[in-house]
């Protein structure tokens, strides 16, 4: 009684267009594929989010290190500026027993001596000269009669 009647003609041709097996068997691989794609996508998003978080933490650490190194650089630069100030240099030179030099003499490009050299004051307390005064100082022109010839024993720096 559960037997289906045989179809003929047009009905038989239309019946061939419909699947004869169960619809559940065709749906199962599709559902498994969709669930696998969704699971893979979620795992991919989790890995991506973890990588971005790790990068943000590393960036924060690097910015903190950069700030610390910048602060240290500025502190060292302040120390250098304090040690290279004119009064600090003068104080250290006095501690080493140095005295200010006498009148300088300069050598021209042709080998001529310009200026009259003078010896450094012996023993006295050194007097500080402002850097502005040194920049604007002029050297008097040498007179040929009073310009001493440099000798190896009196040449500075040797």
The model's pTM is 0.41
User: For 32-44, what is each residue's pLDDT tens digit?
Assistant: 999 999 999 999 9
Q: Is the distance from CB of 91 to CB of 98 less than 8 angstroms?
A: no
For residue range 53-62, what is the model confidence (pLDDT) as tens digits? 999 999 999 9
CA-to-CA distance for 126 and 101, rounded, in angstroms? 9
Quote the pLDDT of residue 71.
Answer: 97
Beta strands in the chain (DSSP E): 106-107, 113-114
On whether the CB atoms of residues 17 and 7 are closer than 8 A, the answer is no
CA 106 to chain centre: 42
What is the SS3 assignment for 9?
coil
Task: Give pLDDT tens digits along the chain (158 positions).
Answer: 556 777 788 877 877 777 666 555 568 889 999 999 999 999 999 999 999 999 999 999 999 999 999 999 999 999 999 999 999 999 999 899 888 887 888 999 998 998 888 777 776 554 555 555 555 555 444 444 444 555 544 545 54
């Amino acid at each position: 009684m559960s037997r289906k009647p045989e179809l003929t003609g047009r009905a038989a041709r239309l019946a061939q267009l419909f699947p004869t097996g169960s619809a559940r068997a065709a749906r199962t691989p599709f559902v498994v594929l969709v669930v696998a794609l969704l699971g893979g996508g979620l795992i991919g998003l989790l890995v991506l989010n973890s990588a971005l978080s790790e990068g943000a933490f590393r960036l924060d650490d690097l910015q903190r290190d950069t700030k610390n190194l910048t602060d240290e650089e500025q502190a060292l630069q302040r120390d250098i500026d304090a040690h290279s100030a004119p009064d600090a240099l003068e104080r250290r030179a006095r501690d080493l027993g140095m005295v200010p030099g006498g009148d300088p003499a300069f050598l021209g490009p042709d080998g001529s001596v310009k200026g009259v050299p003078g010896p450094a004051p012996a023993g006295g307390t050194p007097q500080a000269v402002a850097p502005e005064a040194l920049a604007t100082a002029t050297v008097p022109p040498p007179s040929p009669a009073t310009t001493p010839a440099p000798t190896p024993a009196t040449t500075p720096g040797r």
